[in-house]
Amino acid sequence: MNYLVSNDDGIRAAGITALIKALSAQEGVNVYVCAPDGQRSGNSQSISLNGTVYVSEVEVDGAKLAWETSGTPADCVKIGLQKCEELGINIDMVFAGINMGSNVGKDTLYSGTVGAAKEAAVSGYKTVALSVAGHHCTHFEGACNIAIEYVEKLQDFITPNMILNINVPDLPEEEIKGVKFTKLGPRYFRDRFWEHVDEGPGAYKLDGEPGDFSDLGNEYDACAMQSGYASITPLHFDYTDYKVLEELKKWETKN
């Protein structure tokens, strides 16, 4: 099996390092890496249409080959797949992560990790996005083992163009209560741009806190994770509202 790994926290981040180590320890698995040269959180699926992306081959423990780029996470997936194709390497699955911070609910719209996974999915690859809650995570082993276990269990269910979005609490593996299959929750933030006059005229930074959704059940990703479970949500990105579309068809015109 040949896996391509990317992320949005940077090629030297603790999360991707742990994931590469875990994947490469599996018998018969070859790991290839293409990831940003620094932090790219919040880049979603943006690509570098204007400007130059710089690519360097680098050494990464556990990787057969690795490249770091100045581009976005989606750029990295594009470049990694291209590099592997040029070398005659057929990628069986793409992993994005491990992200330091959960990607649940509305987070998936902004996340560079999910953006990298989306790029792989729309390119026709089986894909996993993997995140651990919290921005100072210390427990990656449980996330790695859950991802490896469920990729194997769900091999016949995972299809190209689909993402398994896995979110895991930042807990020792033995303290994770189990795994829940969930839907995206109505996660939202009380956020705004705050003026930072100390950084000069017109300087603003986005900041805020997540809203309260503790009254929702564990069928939602964020709630399951906050209750101590790992959450797995299958995602696809056909944005069509089919129910509304059927209603709108009555207003179609004919020539």
Q: What is the pLDDT of residues 2-21, one digit of tens each?
A: 999 999 999 999 999 999 99
Which pLDDT value is given to residue 83?
Answer: 98
Q: Is residue 207 a part of any domain in this protein?
A: no
Q: Is residue 219 a part of any domain in this protein?
A: yes
Q: Is residue 36 a part of any domain in this protein?
A: yes
Which pLDDT value is given to residue 88?
Answer: 97
Q: Give me the mean pLDDT over the 9-36 stretch.
A: 97
Kindly list the distances between the CA atom of residue 213 and the CA atoms of 113, 223, 225, in Å, as whole numbers in the listed order.
Answer: 23, 7, 12
Q: Is residue 144 a part of any domain in this protein?
A: yes
Q: Kindly state the percentage of the chain with pLDDT values over 90.
A: 71
Kindly list the distances between the CA atom of residue 4 and the CA atoms of 24, 25, 36, 248, in Å, as whole numbers in the listed order.
Answer: 11, 15, 14, 42
How many CB atoms lie under 10 A from the CB of residue 187?
A: 20
Q: Is residue 110 a part of any domain in this protein?
A: yes
- Determine the Cα–Cα distance for residues 113 and 239; give it in Å rounded to an integer: 19
Which pLDDT value is given to residue 211?
Answer: 63
Q: What is the CATH number of the domain that holds 171?
A: 3.40.1210.10
Q: Is residue 195 a part of any domain in this protein?
A: no
- Determine the Cα–Cα distance for residues 113 and 8; give it in Å rounded to an integer: 5
- Determine the Cα–Cα distance for residues 224 and 117; give it in Å rounded to an integer: 22
Domain housing 36: 2-185+214-251
The band of 218, judged by pLDDT with boundaries at 50, 70 and 90, is confident
Q: What is the pLDDT of residues 63-102, one digit of tens each?
A: 999 999 999 999 999 999 999 999 999 999 999 999 999 9
The answer to whether residue 212 scores a pLDDT higher than 90 is: no
Q: Is residue 200 a part of any domain in this protein?
A: no
Q: Give me the mean pLDDT over the 22-42 stretch.
A: 95
Computed over every residue of the chain, the mean pLDDT equals 92
pTM of the model: 0.90
Q: Is residue 203 a part of any domain in this protein?
A: no
Tally of domains in the chain: 1
Quickly list DSSP for 20-45.
HHHHHTSTT-EEEEEEESS--TT-TT
Q: Which two tokens stand for residue 153?
A: 């269990």
